Amino acid sequence: MSDTITERAPKPHKIVIVQDVRDRLENADAVLFTEYRGLNVSQLAQLRTALAPVGGTYKIYKNTLAKVAARELNLEIEDFLLGPTGMAFVDGDAAAVAKVLDNYRREHEVFVVKGGLLGDSIVQPDGVKRLASLPPREQLMAQLGGLVQSPMAKFAGALAAPLNEMAALLGAMQQKFAGLVKALADQGGAGELAVAETVASAETVAEAALDGAAGDASTETAAPETAEPQETT
């Protein structure tokens, strides 16, 4: 009798499930993890219905199979895959999906939002709550546009400022906003979160630079003229 233990090949239907989880993890703009213990089929159906219009798909897999898919992608999300776990896959606006989950949590005390995966970043429950408090992506983009346009309108009053002050302002604006707009385009929800966290500081930088430019301009304008010496007779 042989002592060799033959490892059983995984069943075909499990291979299909692991591949499905992997594909969703790989292609989603974000993934938010929840615990649905205590909720019935009808209540979960209501959640799925609420998520669909904002680009959210709610799926439930066996944790063991989800962990296999995560390992294949080198994703460190196993802490989220404990207990009855549902995953909300985001296609588009992660803030909108987080808002739906947060509202559902308020209505069902047993529902728990455990955290999320935004791009390559792990987000804890507090981060998901902050994400849920953000305005829609379109509004964030409008805010960015407003931050750029407002300082431009003030340039007319600062035309007398030295050119180096204007160059410094343009450089500061370019560094702040180019990266933020790229984050929105490339990272979806993660970019939105980054924008929200830096908008206030960007406003401060822009205002400070403009104040400095305007201050220099007013100082030059107000400089007293040197009196011409009087000829004596």
Note the pLDDT tens digit of each residue in 195-207: 555 555 555 545 5
* Tokens (6 digits) for 135: 């305005």
Say which range, 9-23, 53-67, 78-92, has the weakest mean pLDDT.
9-23
Are 127 and 16 contained in the same domain? yes
Total structural domains in the chain?
2
Are 141 and 128 contained in the same domain? no
Are 63 and 163 contained in the same domain? no
Alpha helix (H) ranges present in 28-162? 41-51, 63-72, 94-107, 125-132, 137-153
69 domain residue, yes or no? yes
Mean pLDDT (whole number) for 38-46: 96
Question: What percentage of the chain has pLDDT greater than the value 70?
Answer: 54
Number of alpha carbons in the 13 Å side-chain half-sphere of residue 201? 10
CB of 106 closer than 8 Å to CB of 47: no
Between 171 and 230, the more confident residue is 171
Alpha-carbon distance 115 to 112, whole Å? 9
Q: What share of the chain is helix, strand, coil (3-state, %, to 5)?
A: 60, 10, 25
Mean pLDDT (whole number) for 30-34: 97
Which domain range does residue 202 map to? 137-221
pLDDT at 1: 47
Taking the complete model, does pTM exceed 0.75, yes or no? Answer: no
CA angle 203, 173, 167 (to 5 degrees): 125
pLDDT at 12: 83
- Answer whether residue 78 shows pLDDT above 50: yes
Note the pLDDT tens digit of each residue in 4-28: 555 565 688 899 999 999 999 999 9
Are 35 and 119 contained in the same domain? yes
Burial label, 135 (beta-carbon count in 10 A; 0-12, 13-18, 19+): middle
226 domain residue, yes or no? no
199 domain residue, yes or no? yes
- Answer whether residue 67 shows pLDDT above 50: yes
CB of 91 closer than 8 Å to CB of 29: yes
Q: Please identify, among 112, 132, 152, the residue that sits at the C-terminal boundary of a domain.
A: 132
Alpha-carbon distance 39 to 109, whole Å? 10
pLDDT at 10: 65
227 domain residue, yes or no? no
3 domain residue, yes or no? no
